[in-house]
Amino acid sequence: MSYVAPLKDMLFNIEHLARIDQVAQLPGFEDAGLETAQAVLEECAKLNQDVIAPLNWEGDKNPSAFSNGQVKTTPGFKEAFKQYGKGGWQGLQHPTQFGGQGLPKTIGAACGEMLNSANMSFALCPLLTDGAIEALLTAGSDNLKDIYLEKLISGEWTGTMNLTEPQAGSDLALVRTRAESLPDGTFKIFGTKIYITYGEHDMADNIVHLVLARVQGAPEGVKGISLFVVPKFMVQADGSLGERNDVHCVSIEHKMGIKASPTAVLQYGDHGGAIGYLVGEENRGLEYMFIMMNAARYAVGVQGIAIAERAYQKAVQYAKDRVQSRPVDGSMNTSAPIIHHPDVKRMLMTMRASTEACRSLATVAAAAYDAAHHHPDTEVRKQNALFYEFMVPLVKGYSTEMSLEVTSLGIQVHGGMGFIEETGAAQYYRDAKILTIYEGTTAIQANDLVGRKTARDGGQTAKALATQVEQTENQLLAHANADAQAVGRRLQAARLAFIDVVNFVAGNVKAQANDVYAGSVPYLMLTGNLMAGWQMGRALLVALTPSAQGHDKAFMDAKVTTARFYADHLLSRAPGIRDSIVDGAKCVTALSLEAF
């Protein structure tokens, strides 16, 4: 079955939860209202449904191949990428002064979801390029911007992030790639980088590597790391490409999933040194790289939503087609499609509700990003920045963990056929697994949520968010509709559980760090669940209004049912998670190391 973009749900979120009418009042976004959003999303859907989605299965069967230092991508990828670039999709959210379209993240995030649903392996190339563009926009000199941004934004060139080394995974203090300064202000780069997504490929004319390295004499640890632009091909004064730089792919990884995306091992400086250009100031590389990582972390969360949507669509189609057994209620006296069976409906509803809730969370976070960067009022910018920063580990951590549950359920709906590769259900599960690992594992997102987002301000930001949740909760509880009241009660129980955990984290992080961090991932999951459930509560309130009911009653009724399911079946997990964190901390670390 082919992919169909969930445009109605995306536009519902953009209009009612992200409030695109308010985003369109921000300076620079005046033309980016609902009408623009709809036009852009419809055009994006056509490209992804017709051109990029059909290549997904092909990429899994015929992945990127490495030979003699060259990487040949899946047949069809190169042509599709050219089409993607010519359509202006790489530049969707980037500044018009460098050839971008300057649209808000609120619209761009929906387009990113479609691209990843269509073909996650393909989508990784634009995703990493976006990160490189963000870093150059933030910290690059005018000269670097002039040389690289237009070509990256047009899709003629692509970008990479080079952090990881064989001995330095998440601990970047161990980075050993070195940079030697030259008299002309450039640097020679020497070292090995691993896990470089699209570090070598045949889809673009040049690859712009952003590389973490240490300048000779720099301090040890993270304070001595700088960031460099190292192009695959040198760029001449007139903008044309010159000789090959001394950076070479020595192999690509053989992976469980995202097989069409080449994951390269890159060697710098085997033939005298790769020429690199310093980005920003020396020894501030990690700070700049975090700009790329934050953009990429949000985008990976969207990947989780995207793969969940694709798995859900496939499972629904199979459940409607597969005939097996009579319905248990006796409504049919012959074997029926399995979608009639209550447990299959339970699985499909879990998939649907999880995906819609995370989509709503990501859309609202995107709108906060837009306000944080474009609102004329300093205080409003600050509040939205705090909101967005708090949401990033949730969008990344909760949505990607959700995608594993959803893609696993997708296989379960297929039964034995789900375990057979030819049906395609297993690919989504295999592809989804990397999402909880790259750009910072779920535990790293949870550490961020505990340390930077909760403990640092004594839980003030977290509690301020809980106050906002309470306002929605009160609206639900006061509503005449029984579904609204039921969702309000679940939201209240989850919010109170959340506050208990925030108090536990803020109160114990210094004196009993192990106890707090033992529950860090459960805390992230509880918080993501609550914030997603909050957005589903908001969505339900909108769906019950007479104007919404009159607009599209069938869609709105389905939204109410889905929100109620989310509350009863998923949000209801929150109090139990609270107990495991607050009451169960000691038993996580109690067993002696010898006993393992």
Catalogue the active-site residues: 439
In eight-state DSSP terms, residue 74 is: P
In eight-state DSSP terms, residue 242 is: E
Write phi, then psi, for 258 (nearest 5 degrees).
35, 50
Write phi, then psi, for 463 (nearest 5 degrees).
-70, -35
As a whole number of angstroms, the longest Cα–Cα distance in the chain is 85
**By C-alpha distance, which of 361, 427, 356 is closest to 395?**
361
Counting Cα atoms < 13 Å in the Cβ hemisphere of 8 gives 11
Report residue 371 as tokens. 């306000």
- Asked if residue 21 lies in contact with residue 33, where contact means CB atoms within 8 angstroms, the answer is yes
Question: DSSP characters for 323-346?
Answer: B-S--TTSS-SS--BGGGSHHHHH
Q: The tokens 């879990």 sit on which residue?
A: 350
Q: Which helix (H) or strand (E) holds 195?
A: strand 187-197
**Interior CA angle at 394 toward 115 and 166, to 5°?**
75
Strand runs labelled E in 44-174? 65-67, 70-72, 157-162
Q: What is the rounded CA–CA span in Å between residue 64 and residue 327? A: 45
Q: The tokens 């998670």 sit on which residue?
A: 577
**Interior CA angle at 507 toward 501 and 508, to 5°?**
90
Counting Cα atoms < 13 Å in the Cβ hemisphere of 578 gives 20
Q: Hey, what's the torsion of the CAs at 442, 443, 448, 451, to 10 degrees?
A: 150
**By C-alpha distance, which of 457, 450, 473 is closest to 394?**
450
**Interior CA angle at 546 toward 542 and 549, to 5°?**
75
Q: What is the rounded CA–CA span in Å between residue 202 and residue 53? A: 20
Three-state secondary structure call for residue 214:
strand
Q: What is the rounded CA–CA span in Å between residue 392 and residue 82? A: 31
In eight-state DSSP terms, residue 252 is: E
Q: Hey, what's the torsion of the CAs at 502, 506, 511, 517, to 10 degrees?
A: 50
In eight-state DSSP terms, residue 165 is: B
